[in-house]
């Protein structure tokens, strides 16, 4: 029996996709070898690669004026690649410090261009995202970097700010679980290991007009235009991760696409927040309700001893990886696209029983 895996990442994957990959792993479509053993220039892999690229754009409803790039290094490498490619000596990048991942983007980006903090939630303990009027842009701002969903603190942008400068979005932990207003963005990126596949590949969307003006004075792997011109085959790509992403995207298509998953995410999150809010304070969410994540639901119990007991009770019922991040503690239920509704129902049932018995 498979466990309900509430890990923040790497996360649960669709069991149908895992079984399909299992059947193909040793002998891919009668080739007598695994796809993982084939050349990335082979016809078999080329079909997988380009199919995954096409599905990434179609599932996420990406306009035609964006290129999709499959890159190594995860979202973390993009903390550097964004300023390296987009900033010039006379421009700067504005950043929203919305939590752990926003802070990392600022720290890494500061090595590669002039960046500044346009808003910080640190003083409030990262319990909300900024309202548009909270963000302070400086002159010559090339872009505003936002983290759409902060995995650790359990907050998200319910709507993205339209402030007259292009947005750059790290969407790692709610990638392809929600529609986004593409007209506001120049770059969207994220690691695949939350909603789209195993760790190992970052998916970056870059507006084509931006590619015409990116920095050329970089090592080739760090250049967006190089990857775009070579269809993300500049070097050997992360073949297995891309292969799995393509299968997950097909699985999403077969189940109604982005709109269906956005609705399902809202439904699952609402069930958990209802259990929290209806517990007379036994469970409590530190997050401003207007900014609650649909992917990472964080909550506390009356004390740490009860939290440990709750986590043990969950593990006994095959619900695992519910412990909150070490920096904030508590409980965190990550309910990405492949988390079945039955997993959320089981967790809500446990929450009710545990509270009654405490």
- Are 283 and 356 in contact by the 8 Å Cβ rule? The answer is no
Long-range contacts, 285-289 (Cβ 8 Å, 24+): 285/154, 286/125, 286/127, 286/154, 287/127, 287/128, 287/153, 287/154, 287/155, 288/127, 288/128, 288/155
- Are 294 and 150 in contact by the 8 Å Cβ rule? The answer is no
Angle, alpha carbons 252-193-321 (nearest 5°): 105
Please choose, from the candidates 173, 130, 156, 171, the residue with its C-alpha nearest in 3D space to the C-alpha of residue 291.
156
- Are 187 and 225 in contact by the 8 Å Cβ rule? The answer is no
The answer for residues whose C-beta is within 8 angstroms of residue 292's C-beta and 6 or more apart is 154, 155, 156, 269, 273, 285
Give the total residue count for the chain: 358
Whole-number CA gyration radius for the chain: 21
Q: How far is CA 23 from each of CA 9, 15, 222, 245, rounded to the nearest angstrom?
A: 25, 13, 36, 16
> What residues are annotated to the active site?
101, 170, 194
Angle, alpha carbons 332-333-334 (nearest 5°): 110
3-state secondary structure of 347: helix
**Paired sense of beta strands 4-5 and 141-147, if any:** unpaired
């Amino acid at each position: 029996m498979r466990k309900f895996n509430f890990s923040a990442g790497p996360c649960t994957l669709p069991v149908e996709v895992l079984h399909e990959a299992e059947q193909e792993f040793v002998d891919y479509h009668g080739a007598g070898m695994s796809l993982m053993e084939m050349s990335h220039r082979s016809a078999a892999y080329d079909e997988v690669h380009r199919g995954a690229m096409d599905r990434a754009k179609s599932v996420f409803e990406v306009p035609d004026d964006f290129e999709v790039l499959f890159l190594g290094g995860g979202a973390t490498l993009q903390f550097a690649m964004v300023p390296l490619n987009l900033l010039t000596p006379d421009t700067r990048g504005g950043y929203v410090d919305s939590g752990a991942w926003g802070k990392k983007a600022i720290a890494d980006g500061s090595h590669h261009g002039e960046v500044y903090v346009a808003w910080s939630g640190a003083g409030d303990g990262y319990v909300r995202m900024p309202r548009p009027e909270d963000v302070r842009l400086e002159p010559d701002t090339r872009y505003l970097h936002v983290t759409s969903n902060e995995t650790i603190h359990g907050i998200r942008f319910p709507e993205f700010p339209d402030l007259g400068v292009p947005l750059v979005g790290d969407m790692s932990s709610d990638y392809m679980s929600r529609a986004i207003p593409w007209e506001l963005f120049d770059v969207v990126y994220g690691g695949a290991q939350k909603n789209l596949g195993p760790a190992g590949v970052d998916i970056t969307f870059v507006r084509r007009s931006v590619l015409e003006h990116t920095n050329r004075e970089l090592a080739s792997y760090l250049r967006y235009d190089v990857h775009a011109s070579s269809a993300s085959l500049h070097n050997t790509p992360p073949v297995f991760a891309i292969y799995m992403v393509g299968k997950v995207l097909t699985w999403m298509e077969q189940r109604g696409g982005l709109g269906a998953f956005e609705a399902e995410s809202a439904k699952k999150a609402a069930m958990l927040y209802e259990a929290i809010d209806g517990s007379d304070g036994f469970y409590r969410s530190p997050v401003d309700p207007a900014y609650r994540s649909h992917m990472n639901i964080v909550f506390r119990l009356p004390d740490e001893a009860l939290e440990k007991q709750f986590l043990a009770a969950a593990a006994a019922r095959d619900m695992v990886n519910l412990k909150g991040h070490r920096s904030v503690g508590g409980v965190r239920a990550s309910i990405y696209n492949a988390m079945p509704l039955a997993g959320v129902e089981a967790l809500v049932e446990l929450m009710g029983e545990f509270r009654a018995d405490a």
